[in-house]
Amino acid sequence: YELMIITRGALAEDAVTANVDRFTTLIGQLGGTVDRTDHWGKREFAYEIDHQRDGYYTVIDFSIDGSRLGELERQLRLADQVVRHKVVRPAARVKSP
């Protein structure tokens, strides 16, 4: 799976890192493994979201049983620091000939 988290832009970078660490730890507690974490940094939104103009983007590639995904999504919805999130299952990556 691939998870994109947009964290509030008003937070300090160490608070953003702590927030991301919280969810990577949660993935581990739910029996998953984190393959890669990619911090994109602070970016301006195309439009205002919840009176916010910018946010910190982070992409996490992870593996987890699909039945455990609901708890992760629930925790993301409850987190005040998270402006938006999205979990997708990308298509299998195949090397082209």
| Rounded to 5°, angle at Cα 95 from 86 and 65 | 40
Q: What phi, psi does 25 have (nearest 5°)?
A: -65, -40
Regarding pTM above 0.85, the answer is: yes
94 pLDDT tier (thresholds 50, 70, 90): low
Reported as a pLDDT band with limits 50, 70 and 90, residue 6 is very high
For residue 97, what pLDDT band results from cuts at 50, 70 and 90?
low
- 22-76 pLDDT tens trace: 999 999 999 999 999 999 999 999 999 989 999 999 999 999 998 999 999 999 9
